[in-house]
Chains A and B, each alone.
Chain A
Amino acid sequence: MTIAPVPVDEVVPGPRPGAVTDEQLLALYREMMRVRAFEDEVIDAFAKGLIPGSTHPCIGAEAIKAGALAALRPDDLVFATYRGHGEVLIKGVDPVGTMAELMGRATGICKGKGGSMHLSEPSVGLMSTNAIVAGHIPMAGGAALSCQFRGTGQVVLCFFGDGASCEGEFFEAMNMAMLWNVPLVFICENNGVAISVPTAKSQATPDIADRARGFGMPAAIVDGNDVLSVRAAVSEGVARAREGGGPSFVECKTVRWERHSAFSAGGSDPLEQRLAWQRVDPIPRFRKSLLAWGIATGERLDAVDEEIRAVMRDVRAEAERAPLPGPESVYEDVYAP
């Protein structure tokens, strides 16, 4: 890899960036922490059998989600993968409804029909997460085309992983996006492994961004565990798109937490993997910078952590109390009226 996440204890915080306020910095931290706390509850709930099927926590990728989404306007649109709880929460979807959806409850944001992999709240611009790898990428392209067609000035972010970058649809969508100059930013989370196959065995070239460059698309590669780097690169892409400059590609290098999904078995020793990502955990890394820049004290940040965890504990408890949908509900929403 040309770039890799820097281990936390090797990080030397640079000068405090000027174009970002204290509130924005703290907001970034809070969003990352919210996702972390939510996902920790999800993992625990899954282990206790409260979440049916499978779920794909995005622990370790919080910086990518928070950094990218910080570049958006509220009416911009987001398409994400089945590892998309982070995008969902940060885009502004109700966490209780989200947790209830994971638990298959009637009060879930998709009435329990979609579960962890099929989340949607178009009212806040979270169009859809998707269970088919790369399945959502052409849809994101079409949504961007729609924004252009309707002249709304909206921009679309499309999140996906390194696995998706080998699917045919990915290339097709990039080609069409460049052809039609649509307002779309591709955000590729390259954590070095698909389900079990490492990128060294599946990618002909190490940098996925090169593929975008092959279509003439502006592309950047960043340390995905540095929330501010992500934010900067995505903001540039969003600005370009909004001005009618067409699509951009941001490849975020990162390291995967443990296993592909809470359901997956097999693979290398989970402990070894956990140590690997803990070494580059984006949240303590950002905390280090915040402390260094005097944005907050350690105690303050601890209090923030505790407050957020308490909120997420309540979120989970409330979702657990929600009822399951009745069996007749399976016949609803097959067709739109």
Chain B
Amino acid sequence: MSEAINQALREALDRPEPLMLIGQDIGPYGGAFGVTRGLAEAYGEERVRDTPLCESATVGYAIGLAITGVRAVCEIEFFDFVGVAMDQIFNQAAKLHYFTGGKLTVPLVIRTPIVARMGMGPQHSQSLESWFMHVPGIKIAVPSNAADAYGLLRTALLDNNPVLFVENVRLYGRRGDVDPAGDPIPFGRARIAREGSDVTVVALSGMVDEALTAAEQLAGRGISVEVIDPRTLAPLDMDTILASLRKTLRLAVAHDAHRTLGFGAEIAARCMEEAFDYLDAPVERVACKDVPIPCTPSGIEAVYPNAADVVAAVERLVA
């Protein structure tokens, strides 16, 4: 996946339109996880620019570039650090177009990875995408594989709005085919990762693979699971999810974020609102426990969800 992201960035840098990448360590070092490797060499440090350690002003500078005709991509090294830059993201970038009555446009991509399950402790492990679903004006893409990362980032780099592009360190190394000749993946189009008829599982980022593993196991027991990857949370493709619910009558959501007010909470509310008569069981949420994420491997095992938890949720749904 990291190569797919690198490739999409290169293609954008090759275009004549002004574009600048800024962030800590993204220059000659190639990024904390190697995603921007080679870009500074190829395109120059003026365009692939290291910043001092100040997330807030980094995003602010990126906004300043974007509103004056220079498309910007800024990286926040770990999703957990987004707190330091929050005002610039949710109060400035997300709202400038709206409160200027459309006069300012913010073509900005904020790339940041989820660093879950790496044992780095509570401040280096979080999945905070649902915070941003709560803010109108910012788009959110959450690819779960190389092809989607490539296709979605291409779209983000053409979008005239601020886009939070949520990567995943655990998925950076996963290989997959990427089609440069194909079309960029539009936002607001979910992917049916596996078709099924008994239960719907909506999974995000790292949990997509876990859900597919669970589905494979359950298939052996005669339970047919449909796995849906929403790919973007804003805009969100509820139509695909609801069509699946109307088919299976049972739905679970799986994500690495905490259970309370994670993405699953919104899905559950919408299923209840928009397809109440198609719920044969309550919506299940497979999520990280509502505790700060510990360092120790046994703790990580205990708090994060996995394929077995998805299986258990499906079993409860069909009970």
- Can you show 22 pairs from A to B with CB atoms below 8 A apart? A110-B99, A110-B100, A110-B103, A112-B101, A120-B101, A120-B104, A122-B67, A127-B104, A128-B104, A132-B91, A138-B57, A139-B67, A139-B88, A142-B67, A146-B68, A149-B18, A149-B65, A150-B18, A169-B56, A172-B52, A176-B61, A336-B105
A145 and B69 CA atoms in complex are apart in Å by 11
Is there an interface contact between A122 and B103, defined as CB atoms closer than 8 Å?
yes
Contact residues of A between 302 and 323, Cβ < 8 Å to B? none
Q: Which of A123, A135, A138, A141 has the most CB of B within 10 A?
A: A138
How many pairs of A and B residues are in contact by the CB < 8 Å rule? 154
Instruction: Give which listed residue, A168, A333, A336, contacts B56 with CB less than 8 A.
Output: A168
Please report which residues of chain B, range 92-116, place their CB below 8 angstroms from some CB of chain A when the two chains form the complex: 92, 96-107
Which residues of chain B are near A130, meaning CB under 8 Å? 92
Chain A residue contacts of B54, Cβ below 8 A? 168, 172, 175-176
Using a CB-CB cutoff of 8 Å, which residues 102-144 of chain A contact chain B?
108-114, 118, 120-123, 127-128, 130, 132, 135-144
Of the four ranges (under 10, 10 to 19, 20 to 34, 35 or more), the interface on chain A belongs to 35 or more
| Known A132-B87, A334-B136, A335-B137; contact A145-B64, beta-carbon cutoff 8 A | yes
User: How distant is the Cα of A230 from the Cα of B22 in the complex, in angstroms?
Assistant: 34
* B248 interfacial by beta-carbon distance below 8 Å: no
Chain A contacts for B103, CB-based, 8 A: 109-110, 120-123
CA distance A324 to B131 in the complex (A): 32
Known contacts A114-B101, A118-B99, A146-B69; is A140 also within 8 Å of B92 by CB? no
For residue A25, CB closer than 8 A to chain B, the reply is no
When A and B form their complex, which 10 residue pairs have the shortest distance between CB atoms, in order from nearest? Answer: A142-B64, A138-B60, A172-B57, A111-B101, A142-B61, A110-B101, A120-B100, A172-B54, A138-B57, A114-B99
User: Is A276 on the interface with B (CB-CB < 8 A)?
Assistant: no
Contacting residues, chain A, for B92 (C-beta < 8 A): 130, 132, 135-136, 139
Least CB distance, B110 to chain A, in whole angstroms = 13
Answer yes or no: A77 CB below 8 A from chain B CBs: yes
Q: Size class of B's contact patch?
A: 35 or more
Instruction: Check A135/B91 contact, CB under 8 A, given A142-B65, A143-B65.
Output: yes
Shortest beta-carbon distance from A282 to chain B in Å: 30
A123→B18 CA distance, assembly (Å) = 20
Whether the Cβ atoms of B60 and A333 lie closer than 8 Å is no
Query: How far is A144 from B51 in the complex, measured between Cα atoms in Å?
Result: 15
Closest Cβ–Cβ distance, residue B209 to chain A (whole Å): 31
In the complex, residue of chain B having the shortest beta-carbon distance to the beta carbon of A139: B64
With both beta carbons as reference points, the residue of chain A lying nearest to B62 in the complex is identified as A142
What residues of chain A lie closer than 8 Å to B252, measured between beta carbons?
none
Chain B residues positioned under 8 Å from A122 (CB to CB): 67, 103-104
- CB contact between A176 and one of B52, B88, B106 (< 8 Å): that residue: B52
**Also in contact, A128 and B100, with CB within 8 A (given A143-B68, A175-B54):** yes
CB distance from B236 to the nearest CB of A (A): 13
Q: Is B20 an interface residue (CB 8 A)?
A: yes
For window 214-230 of A, CB contacts with B under 8 Å fall at none
Give the complex CA separation of A15 and B192 in angstroms: 79
* Nearest A residue to B50, CB-CB: A179
Give the residue among A108, A136, A146, A332 with the most B Cβ atoms within 10 A: A146
Cβ contact within 8 Å between A179 and B52: yes
Cα of A287 to Cα of B126 in the assembled complex, Å:
61
Which chain B residues (238-278) contact chain A, with CB distance < 8 Å?
A: none
**A109, B101: Cβ atoms under 8 Å?**
yes
**Contact B101–A333 (Cβ < 8 Å):** yes
The 8 Å CB contact of B57, one of A111, A141, A147, is A141
Chain A nearest CB from B76 CB (Å) reads: 14
Q: In this assembly, does A173 line the interface, its C-beta being within 8 Å of a C-beta of chain B?
A: yes
Q: How far is the CA of A335 from the CA of B138 in the complex (A)?
A: 8
List the B residue with the shortest CB-CB distance to A147: B68
Q: Evaluate whether A149 and B101 lie within 8 angstroms (CB atoms) in the complex, with A176-B54, A335-B139 already known.
A: no
Q: How far is the CA of A239 from the CA of B101 in the complex (A)?
A: 33
